[in-house]
Amino acid sequence: MLEVANLTKRFGGLVAVDGVNLSLPEGGISALIGPNGAGKTTLFALITGFHRPDGGSVRFLGRDLTGEKPFRIARAGMVRTFQIVQPFAGQTVRENIAVGAHMHLADRAEALAKAEDVARAVGLSDRLDRDAADLTVAGRKRLEVARALATDPKLLLLDEVMAGLNPSEIRDVIPVIRAIRDRGVTILLIEHVMQAVMELSDQAWVLNQGRLIAAGAPRALASDPAVIEAYLGHGMAERLAKGAAHA
């Protein structure tokens, strides 16, 4: 569905994304993990057109979308959310979601009705007429998802929708994401909350210092020495293994 080939982005001397190749099949949930500053959000921004890549290509459903404008990529069916939530403050939750619904619906009443449906799907029905600026962090994260979902995306890119949530809020969000997948939307998520990655995703990629260092089933990745070193530092995999042997 999504084919990323040799994608590269430099900021001055820093190579934020370094020759990333990945191929995302249709259906299911995949995850992109990695330590802070690994380039995950930059990779999302490159795929969705918010940054222009310095090299490589992005193909979606057979179309070359490299360097296209964000709104065109969204209209092609690939929609992202933002890690730092970006509500239309001063507008209600219903109005916020309706902006997404308007991508395919010209009629205001239809878009508002659709916003209501989507709000139900993500659990925001009781807050439809609230000002988006008044929502809690958990509410705003759901709003991000709702607005993207209202565009009827084929591929949904979720950037840390669980960051900043408490464990019970995370437990509440997991079934919402599953339900979106069950509607037939393919999902790629960036996530630091490992519990969520393990529970949700069918496969995962690990990004470190702009490079993909591992790929596979999330459980297997958790014991991959390269992944452990990326998170905990050089030599840690060996020491952990020794520690386990001693015990």
In this complex, which beta carbon is closest to another protein, that of residue 156 or of residue 197? 156
In this complex, which beta carbon is closest to another protein, that of residue 112 or of residue 213? 112
Cα gap 200→170, rounded to integer Å: 12
Minimal distance, residue 143 CB to another protein, in Å: 10
Cα gap 132→62, rounded to integer Å: 36
Minimal distance, residue 10 CB to another protein, in Å: 21
Residue type, 229: E
In this complex, which beta carbon is closest to another protein, that of residue 30 or of residue 151? 151
Residues 6+ apart with CB under 8 A from 60: 1, 2, 3, 73, 76, 77, 78, 155
In this complex, which beta carbon is closest to another protein, that of residue 42 or of residue 81? 81
In this complex, which beta carbon is closest to another protein, that of residue 34 or of residue 87? 87
Beta strands in the chain (DSSP E): 2-11, 14-24, 29-33, 55-60, 63-64, 78-80, 155-159, 186-190, 203-208, 211-216
Minimal distance, residue 197 CB to another protein, in Å: 23
Phi, psi of 144 (to 5 degrees): -55, -45
Minimal distance, residue 71 CB to another protein, in Å: 5
In this complex, which beta carbon is closest to another protein, that of residue 149 or of residue 204? 149
- Within a 13 Å sphere around the CA of 128, how many CA atoms are in the beta-carbon half? 14
Residue type, 135: L
Residues that bind another protein (CB under 8 A): 48, 50, 69-71, 74-75, 79-82, 86-92, 94-95, 98-100, 102-103, 105-109, 111-112, 129, 131, 134, 147-148, 150-151
Cα gap 62→173, rounded to integer Å: 32
In this structure, are residues 4 and 22 in contact, taking their beta carbons and an 8 Å threshold? yes
Minimal distance, residue 107 CB to another protein, in Å: 8
Cα gap 50→16, rounded to integer Å: 14
Minimal distance, residue 6 CB to another protein, in Å: 25
